[in-house]
Structure 1
Amino acid sequence: MTCGASLMDERGRGNPKPVRRKLFTKKLAPLFSQAIDSADPQKTFISSKFNLYVGKGNLTSHIQHYTQAMTLWSNNGPIMCQMFSSSFNEMPLRWFYKLETRSINDWKQLQQVFISSFITNSQLPKEVDVLLTTKKDIMESLREYNKRYWAAYNEIDNCNEKLAVTSFKLGLQPTSKLRQSLTKKQPTDVSSLMRKMEQHCKIKDNL
């Protein structure tokens, strides 16, 4: 029977019961110290529902959510270590299995290793004011400005497209022909702006 399936009684009728997951002690033991490896606090474990970490986001919040889900076992270091990988999506799970043999001695150390490994992916999303202050430098090509601007745009969650279009235009030099064109007929969304910018660059390249 697979994990998550309802247990059936002898008559074949559905009889849902809490899903119990065996501790993966033997499978994960090589990553941990002998103390964690040899610990066997209980034979079975009732799995909690975890928020999966996908490789980016707030690391502290993820640990807090995991600890909250593991409230009944939060003081049991070995179980906290052994079950931590259950809160990972595919990418961080690959990182987890690449940890050196016997490199983790306790739950506190595992948290520290986790944070230090993913800290570069946990930057907070940029705010919209980043776009408002992004300006094209005099010596910067239009394509370079375009690349820099959209790199910043992509790091902003749910950015208003009309605002992004207006900000892009205002970031251009006042004498820019593209800015003048955008002023006469401003695109209504990001896709239209990108097409117009590309058309402008192609015309300029052919001059």
Structure 2
Amino acid sequence: MYNGHTDPVEHVSHFNQRMAVHSKNETLMCKVFPSSLGPMMMRWFDGLGAGSIDSFKELNWAFGSRFITCSKVPRPLNAWLSMSMREGETLKTDLDRYWEMFNEIDWDFDNVAIRTFKVGLPAEHDLRKSLIKKPVRSMHQLMDRIDEYKWVEEH
């Protein structure tokens, strides 16, 4: 049951998993979805205008838009990497915070690998300057940029 206090994206994901066998039947998905809502959320659903929703995708969008303030925002990896034990904190408390943060991390390993590679280059290196001026967004882009600079260096 969605209670209005948890992540709506997670709720829809769980609902979709429960309804996986019927996922192609949009009408059924729309009719069953309200059964996953708590009393307050049913008021929202009942307030939707007749004929205002034409597909489960639209219902999903309307639901997510209405309860967006409950969405969990994944934490960046650097938030986890910069954690340290607080003064006077017990090991148990520190570990509880550590693992809670670990589970909330948005795992963007490409970003970490790109940053690590860039920081490892000498500050005056042309490739590093290029990566600062025009950042890459994926490992594929990084490898292409590296290949360009290797080719220039080899010729």
Given the two structures, how large is their TM-score scaled by the length of structure 2? 0.46
Relative to the length of structure 1, the TM-score reads 0.35
Higher helix share: 2
Q: Greater Rg, structure 1 or structure 2?
A: 1
